[in-house]
Amino acid sequence: MSGASGASARNNPASTRNAPTSQEAALRAEIVHTAHEMERLGINQGTSGNVSARFNEGLLITPSGVPASALTAGEIVWLPFDVEADAPVFAQNRPSTEWRFHRDILRARAEIGAVVHTHSSAATAIAIHGRDIPAHHYMVAAAGGNSIRCAPYATFGSQALSDYALEALKDRTACLLAHHGVIALGRDLAKALWLANEVEVLAKQYLLASQLGTPPVLSDDEIAEVVKKFSNYGLRRASGSDGS
C-alpha cells in the first residue's frame, strides 16, 4: 500500500473494508430501524441524536448530518476501536460527530452492545439545569442505581464530553449530558432504545411531581433491592415488556 493510500485508510477506516456480511447487513438495518423508532417515540428529531452497535473489533454508527427519515443501511459507518480520538473528519462516510463517546463506551464496557443518544425534551430540560434524576420512582433502578447522573457540560463531539460521560456512566447504563441530552446503553439495540425511552418517561414524571414540591425519593436500600430484581428479568423482545 502506498503512503498516500495508507494515509487515506487511516483517515477513513471504512474505506478498506469488504462488502458487508449478512450479519453486518442485518445489524445495519436494525440501527436504521432504531433511529426510526426514536422519532416515532418522540425522543429524537431531525439530525439530532445517534445510534451505535458493537460489531467485530469496532462499531457501526449512524452518519453525521443525515435525518432518520432519510437514513439508509448503506450510510451506517463502521469504525475500528483503535481509531484515534484526534482523527480528522473522514472525507467520506462521516460518522456522527459524537463517535468518540460511542467508541469509548463500547471499548470500556464489554457487556454493552449498543448505545443510543437522544435529545428527548423532558430529560434534556433537567439536564439544562445540570441535575440528576433521583429515585422518585423505582424504575430509576433500570439504569443501575439510585439516580441517573448528569455529566458536566462539554462541547458536542469533544473528547472531554466522552470523558465526562464515561464518569457519569460508572455502574450505570444511562446518564444525562448537561445542556445536551441523554445516553442510554444496552446489551443490544432493543434494550438501549427501551432504556432511552424509559429515561424520558422518568424525566416527565419527575417534572410533574416537582410541581407539587420536592419529590420524595426511595431509600438506597429499596433501590438496591430493585436493582437486584432487575438482574433476573427485564425487557423481552417477544412481549416488549420491562418485566413488571
- Which DSSP state fits 150? E
Q: Kindly give, in sequence order, each residue whose CB lies less than 8 Å from that of residue 174, ignoring residues fewer than 6 positions away.
A: 142, 143, 144, 148, 182, 183, 184, 185, 195, 196, 199
Find the helix or strand (DSSP H, E) in which 106 lies: helix 99-108
**Does the annotation mark 198 as catalytic?**
no
The Cα 128–Cα 136 span in angstroms is: 19
C-alpha 60/C-alpha 170 separation (Å) is 23
CA distance 189 to 240: 13
Give residue 145's identity as a one-letter amino acid code. G
Catalytic residue among 24, 98, 198, 200: 98
Active-site residues, by number, are: 98
